[in-house]
């Protein structure tokens, strides 16, 4: 799906006032570098999952301003005709680098860099941030949920609780990247090929004279993959006995096996154990038990730790909204400017030390231990720096510089890709199935300690010595 419907003015108004001022001040074509990065992982986790690049590409490929947009802006009596003419003839011409979707990413890393005229780099800020912040947030939450399920399937059930229809659709995409196997959002299958699944609601059961009649009617119409919702009245005393009766009378005679039962309320741990015992006793050992009802990674982990007999989870509102940590605070900061072909690093200084950015045009290198196959650190360098794998390489904590470690027997790879050059797309986005597979492979290369839900090991994200020294020099030039 291409993003193209009236998205050009989904931007903070000050982007436009600044752009107008830049053009009128004759600095609009100055070449600059902006980084997108985030400072904190949602849920205090060990890492986030990059997502949203395909939709950012669609936006940048289609960015233009209509006659209606121009007339609206003219009506504000703020913008010059010179600026309105610029927008009317707008042509995106920036270079863009980004970390591929599905990659684990960490705080302070430049996950996207934009190089180009300041007027253009500034105008795209809002859509860049909202696109990447949202999908990265949901992919990260989904990956936590899927890891908690420990090999059991997870379906994304959140459309009705998503914060808007776009969040439902693109949240389903992000959840799939994070590891969910299917979605309740039908449109997501049309747009992205994500399997859409679903059976019945309690209203189906309530519409019939009896629960047994409701189950029988459903089984007759859908015998091949029959899943019955058994908690409308009483799961153990009513729903399960009626489901078993229908399985025997309607499913087996048609040559099929029942697919499953779904429980949407009550004590899922107890009910799943009891249901498993009863189903097995009736010869339905292959009948799956599916649980839904306000689930998240913490609930899933706790249920399984107490021996719940669950085969599959439907996870809705707490996934699609990242309920326990609903914000990825990605920011977009100027980090360098070009003067006469020279790149001049820039830094933002704040009383809050966490808001001081890393200056310059940069790369991100991921270090893999050759012996274990695990990732051990990321190193942020200037763009023209290389890491020599044939020599030992010392890393150090940028804040606590006495904390040092010498790396040997390692592989180093740059994890960012160029996606636009002079405004032209130069990157082929993988389909969402490839991205999901890649994500799973990449997460498997992280140490288990980094993947803990509580108090995860802090993954090393270090600066090269040259970059660290440049940052200290810029800091020392400022008075506080």
247-290 confidence digits (pLDDT tens): 999 999 999 999 999 999 999 999 999 999 999 999 999 999 99
Query: What's the pLDDT at 4?
Result: 47
Token output for 469: 């020294």
Token output for 411: 């592989």
Domains and CATH numbers, the chain: 13-138+326-476 (3.20.140.10), 150-320 (3.20.20.70)
Indicate whether 352 pLDDT > 90. no
162: left (phi over 0), alpha (psi -120 to 50) or beta: beta
Indicate whether 426 pLDDT > 60. yes
- 3 pLDDT band, cuts 50/70/90, is very low
pTM: 0.96
43-93 confidence digits (pLDDT tens): 999 999 999 999 999 999 999 999 999 999 999 999 999 999 999 999 999
Residue 403 and residue 397 in contact, taking contact as beta carbons nearer than 8 Å: yes
Indicate whether 480 pLDDT > 70. no
Query: In sequence order, which residues have a C-beta less than 8 Å from that of residue 32 and are 6 or more positions away?
Result: 115, 116, 117, 118, 121, 334, 336, 337, 338
Residue 432 and residue 32 in contact, taking contact as beta carbons nearer than 8 Å: no
166-193 confidence digits (pLDDT tens): 999 999 999 999 999 999 999 999 999 9
122-136 confidence digits (pLDDT tens): 999 999 999 999 999
């Amino acid at each position: 799906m291409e993003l193209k419907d009236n998205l050009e003015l989904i931007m903070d108004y000050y982007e436009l006032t600044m752009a107008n001022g830049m053009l009128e001040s004759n600095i609009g074509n100055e070449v600059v570098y902006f980084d997108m990065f985030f400072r904190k992982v949602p849920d205090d986790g060990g890492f986030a999952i990059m997502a949203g690049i395909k939709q950012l590409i669609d936006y940048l490929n289609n960015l233009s301003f209509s006659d209606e947009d121009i007339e609206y802006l003219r009506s504000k009596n703020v913008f010059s005709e010179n600026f309105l003419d610029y927008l009317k003839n707008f042509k995106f011409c920036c270079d863009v680098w980004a970390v591929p979707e599905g990659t684990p990413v960490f705080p302070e890393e430049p996950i996207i860099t934009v190089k180009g005229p300041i007027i253009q780099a500034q105008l795209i800020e809002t859509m860049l941030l909202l696109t990447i912040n949202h999908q990265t947030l949901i992919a990260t939450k989904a990956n936590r949920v899927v890891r908690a399920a420990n090999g059991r399937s997870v379906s994304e059930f959140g459309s009705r609780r998503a914060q808007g229809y776009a969040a439902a659709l693109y949240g389903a995409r992000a959840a799939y990247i994070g590891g969910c196997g299917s979605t309740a959002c039908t449109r997501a299958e049309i747009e992205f090929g994500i399997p859409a699944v679903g059976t019945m609601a309690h209203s189906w059961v309530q519409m019939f004279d009896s629960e047994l009649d409701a189950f029988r009617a459903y089984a007759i119409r859908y015998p091949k993959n029959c899943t019955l919702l058994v908690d409308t009245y009483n799961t153990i005393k009513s729903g399960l006995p009626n489901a078993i009766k229908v399985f025997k009378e309607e499913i087996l005679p048609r040559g099929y096996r029942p697919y499953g039962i779904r429980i949407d309320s009550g004590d899922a741990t107890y009910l799943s154990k009891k249901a498993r015992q009863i189903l097995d006793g009736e010869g339905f050992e292959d009948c799956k038990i599916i649980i839904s009802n306000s689930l998240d990674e913490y609930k899933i982990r706790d249920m399984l730790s107490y021996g719940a007999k669950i085969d599959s989870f439907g996870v809705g509102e707490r996934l699609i909204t990242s309920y326990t940590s609903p914000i990825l605070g990605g920011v977009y900061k100027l980090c360098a400017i070009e003067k006469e072909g020279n790149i001049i690093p820039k830094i933002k200084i704040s009383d809050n030390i966490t808001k001081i950015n890393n200056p310059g045009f940069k790369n991100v290198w991921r270090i893999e231990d050759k012996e274990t196959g695990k990732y051990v650190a990321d190193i942020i360098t200037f763009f023209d720096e290389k890491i020599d794998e044939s020599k030992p390489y010392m890393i150090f904590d940028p804040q606590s510089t006495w904390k040092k470690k010498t790396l040997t027997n390692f592989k180093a790879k740059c994890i960012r890709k160029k996606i636009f050059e002079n405004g032209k797309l130069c990157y082929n986005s993988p389909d969402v199935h490839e991205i999901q597979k890649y994500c799973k492979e990449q997460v498997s290369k992280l140490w288990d300690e980094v993947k803990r839900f509580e108090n995860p090991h802090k993954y090393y994200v270090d600066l090269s010595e040259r970059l660290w020294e440049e940052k200290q020099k810029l800091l020392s030039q400022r008075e506080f």
